[in-house]
Amino acid sequence: MSNAMILLDSAIVKDARQAAGWGWVQGITTNPVLLAQSDLPPEETLRQLAETITGPVFYQLTAPDVAGMIVEAERAEDVLGGQLVLKIAASPKGFEAAAQLSLHADVCITAVFNASQAIAAEAAGARFLALYYNRAMRLMEDGPGFVRAVVDVLEGSSCEVIAASVKSPAEAVAARQAGIPHLTLPLAMLEALGRCDLSEQVIADFNRNGRGII
């Protein structure tokens, strides 16, 4: 997973099937709120998501303490096997759990809003760090500075940054320009990445005035 990834941010199996069919979406991120939107129980949702796409499936731990997180992680591994990436919210207990779980599983520290948390994530062995890009731009006094600091702190490390909470194609471009390699987007946003009115006009002209072999 060293190459830049485009991920679907959803727990709706229908969305996952559509995104998987495009051939350029490499995995799926979920969180407790997204799983609550599924009509299926969480374990069955995760099982079907894993069957739909061959790449990583991110599951966020919900247990309130480290011991509970360890048990929940084992249960998630039973469901997702080698596709599992454990999402753990940035907190002292979360980093403690990550330090244990990262010894035998890929871990993604999520809900990061301070560059110092990137230092803790790397030290705890996290493979990924997810920052909420749109929320950072809207809610933080210096969102761009925060993003730059996280990217700089992790430069050259084995902990890779994922931009979540991306609300427009322009934000996706800005996140990539800021040095964030991975993006996770809801289905509508993934569809929007490939759309452009000017492209549609040119395509219409090709179809209207051009010729091909069929």
Number of helical H runs and strand E runs in the chain:
11, 8
Residue 1 located in a structural domain: no
CATH no. for residue 108? 3.20.20.70
Nearest CA among 63, 62, 67 for reference residue 33: 62
User: For residue 214, is it within any domain?
Assistant: no
Domain that holds residue 162: 6-209
Instruction: Please choose, from the candidates 110, 51, 108, 127, the residue with its C-alpha nearest in 3D space to the C-alpha of residue 83.
Output: 51
pLDDT at 213 over 90: no
3-state secondary structure of 85: strand
Q: What is the pLDDT of residues 162-196, one digit of tens each?
A: 999 999 999 999 999 999 999 999 999 999 999 99
| 91 located within any domain | yes
**61 within domain boundaries:** yes
Q: Which amino acid is at 23?
A: G
Residue 95 domain flag: yes
Domain count, the chain: 1
Question: Cα-Cα-Cα-Cα dihedral of 47, 54, 4, 154, to 10°?
Answer: 50
d(CA 147, CA 166): 13
- 75-86 pLDDT, tens digit per residue, is 999 999 999 999
Rounded Cα distance between 87 and 173, Å, is 24
> What one-character-per-residue DSSP string does 12-78 give?
-HHHHHHHHHHS---EEE--HHHHHTSSS-HHHHHHHHHHH-SS-EEEE---SSHHHHHHHHHHHHH
> Is 149 inside any structural domain?
yes
The tens digit of pLDDT for each residue in 113-136 reads 999 999 999 999 999 999 999 999
> Are 97 and 112 within 8 A, CB to CB?
no
